Structure 1
Amino acid sequence: MRELLIEFLKFIKDKKGFSESSIEAYRKDLEDFTVFLMGKDYVEVEDLDVMSFIETMKKEYSENSIYRKLVSLRAFYKYLYKKGIVEKLPTEGLKPVKPTVQMPETLEWEEVERIINQCGNQPKGERDKLVIEMLLQSGLLISEVLEIKISDIISTEYKKIKYVKNNRLHFIEIGNELSEKIKSFVNEDREKVVNSEDDFLFQGVTRQNFGARFKKYGQKAGISQNIYPNMLRNTLAKKYLDSSIDDVKDKMHLEKLEGTGVYITRNLDKIRELYMEIAIGDK
């Protein structure tokens, strides 16, 4: 039975171009369902099984998590149906669950400056400053910034960031000031914090260890709320949304705006459009 789950996850990765975080979310949702079935085969599942699963999950999860699990189940069974593995969709008769719109958390620009000032002037602090500036100017997630390779930046003469998303190659223009900082880090400072010749620009930095340092910088800067690196992406998105929704799509490198949102109180329609794509990400 588990082979079907593995096939589906491979399908959404290879054919649909889903991100690793999205694939992991689908995997977790479907494994929760598998445990709930207690050995019952996927092809034997009926509407009542899915309804019972959703009701059970309500005891542990929020409305948004329940919504996501239902989306995962519908996608999985749609895949099985198209492959001819099941004859009907056990999710078809379920009443839609609407997600609750939450405001993505952002920082004030003055708070960002205070965080940067807390990084210090030692090599590792200068490296962290560069990570923060790249997050703030590129609109990328922390996981995407940490995947940037030196060879890719050098190939564009430090003028563009090259990255892959949804199985497509993308380029982001780099401003002159940031370009010079990256070049200086590569040629002068990187060897002070990296012990290997690995091609990753920020070799040794992980989402977890950078997130922990980012939080400490915030505490030292007197910021009371719990902060995380991708708040910088939300902050940038809010800035562009203050201009226009088209700016958000262009500057944040979004191909579509389905079901997503960005922090801003004056226009709920924009929040509903942009939430899923910008706000839901790894903290």
Structure 2
Amino acid sequence: MKEQLEQFLYYITVERGLALNTVISYRHDLEQFISFLESIGIKNFKEVKREHLAGYLENLHNKGLATRSRNRHLAAIRSFYKYLLREKIAESNPAAQMESSQIQKKLPQVLSLEEVERLLDQPDVKTPLGQRDKAMLELLYATGLRVTELVRMTTEQLNLEVGYVTALGKGHKERIIPITENAQDALKEYLQHGRRALLKGRQSNYLFVNRSGKPITRQGFWKILQRYTQKAGITRHISPHTLRHSFATHLLEHGADLRSVQMMLGHSDISTTQIYTHVAREQLKKIHRLHHPRS
């Protein structure tokens, strides 16, 4: 069974062009599924029935996995069986008629405009690292990039003359996003001074590098963000995605249309973007409650 899994992972990597993180997630979930099947004596994917899959999902529930995580496992199995059917390795898809569990949607956490300003003001732009950090934070808030898109960005994806970046998103889909003047200024300063100081004559195609001249990692950026969050006096837990949420919500609050925000975020389905309209409404209600004399 593990041989079929490797073939599937090769297929989604090479033929479908899925992102590395997506492929890693598929591997993790499907290896767990195969281990469960082996533990109950199933050695062939043709033997798997709906009740076996129900037992697996119940096993995940008993281990404390959240509804969203269990649904991700089910979606991975469903996709895997579509491949097995196409390759005539399986005769039916036991996951085909199984419905995902309902998830209570939580509104994404966003920063206020004042909190964003405080956060962006934290890096010491007199130092190479501060110039880099300022450029990263400004670019993230200006464009709503995913953190992976940010840390993997190359200098070729940046066009400061026209004022846009070309983001390479999920499934290697490209999208063009305008950048603010503040972000452009921070990037120019970093490229002219900070980046050169960090590279020390070394070569790199990556836009954002560390002291060793290597690209910043997702974990590295997360630590940088946490440090500046504390310095800014923001007590709530925020992640790189919080700036993406804030970017989208603030655009909608200031009159941007939903379709444009969808394109900039790289959402394939506009319903994913629509949650930010709910956030914007909640923000307006909060302001109304705080400031209306009869609230």
TM-score range, shorter chain: 0.7 to 0.9
Indicate if the aligned counterparts of 1:234 and 1:262 stay in contact, CA closer than 8 A: no
Classify the secondary structure of the residue corresponding to 2:176: strand
Query: Per-residue deviation at 1:261?
Result: 5.5
Question: What residue in structure 2 maps to residue 62 of structure 1?
Answer: 66
Indicate if the aligned counterparts of 2:252 and 2:280 stay in contact, CA closer than 8 A: no
Question: What residue in structure 2 maps to residue 84 of structure 1?
Answer: 88
RMSD: 2.4
Question: What residue in structure 1 maps to residue 203 of structure 2?
Answer: 197
C-alpha distance in 1, partners of 2:145/2:183?
Answer: 15
Question: What residue in structure 1 maps to residue 223 of structure 2?
Answer: 212
Q: Which has the larger radius of gyration?
A: 2
| Alpha carbons of structure 1 residues 267 and 179: separation in structure 2 relative to 1, 3 Å | closer
| Runs of at least 4 residues off by over 4 Å | 258-261, 265-268
Question: What residue in structure 1 maps to residue 138 of structure 2?
Answer: 133
Query: Per-residue deviation at 1:260?
Result: 5.8
| Alpha carbons of structure 1 residues 27 and 255: separation in structure 2 relative to 1, 3 Å | same
- The answer for unaligned runs of 5 or more in structure 2 is 211-215, 283-295
C-alpha distance in 2, partners of 1:99/1:28?
Answer: 22
C-alpha distance in 2, partners of 1:8/1:96?
Answer: 22
Question: What residue in structure 2 maps to residue 281 of structure 1?
Answer: none
Per-residue displacement from partner, 1:208-265 (whole Å, max 9, x unpaired)? 1121121121112211111111210010111233333223213323343355663434
- The answer for unaligned runs of 5 or more in structure 1 is 269-283
C-alpha distance in 1, partners of 2:30/2:226?
Answer: 32
User: Aligned letter for 1:251?
Assistant: M
| Alpha carbons of structure 1 residues 48 and 267: separation in structure 2 relative to 1, 3 Å | farther
Question: What residue in structure 1 maps to residue 260 of structure 2?
Answer: 247
Question: What residue in structure 1 maps to residue 150 of structure 2?
Answer: 145
Classify the secondary structure of the residue corresponding to 1:107: coil
Classify the secondary structure of the residue corresponding to 2:175: strand
| Alpha carbons of structure 1 residues 50 and 116: separation in structure 2 relative to 1, 3 Å | same
Q: Which moved more, 1:258-267 or 1:43-52?
A: 258-267
TM-score (norm 1): 0.84
Indicate if the aligned counterparts of 1:158 and 1:183 stay in contact, CA closer than 8 A: no
Counterpart mapping for 1:43-54 below 5 A:
43-54=46-57
| Identity %, equivalent residues | 28
C-alpha distance in 1, partners of 2:13/2:129?
Answer: 35
Question: What residue in structure 2 maps to residue 98 of structure 1?
Answer: 102
Query: Per-residue deviation at 1:93?
Result: 4.0
Indicate if the aligned counterparts of 2:252 and 2:258 stay in contact, CA closer than 8 A: yes
Indicate if the aligned counterparts of 1:139 and 1:253 stay in contact, CA closer than 8 A: no
C-alpha distance in 2, partners of 1:158/1:187?
Answer: 18
| Alpha carbons of structure 1 residues 16 and 99: separation in structure 2 relative to 1, 3 Å | farther
1:223 to 225, 230, 234: 234
Q: Which moved more, 1:77-86 or 1:31-40?
A: 31-40
- State the number of aligned residues: 267
Greater helix share, structure number: 2
C-alpha distance in 2, partners of 1:104/1:221?
Answer: 21
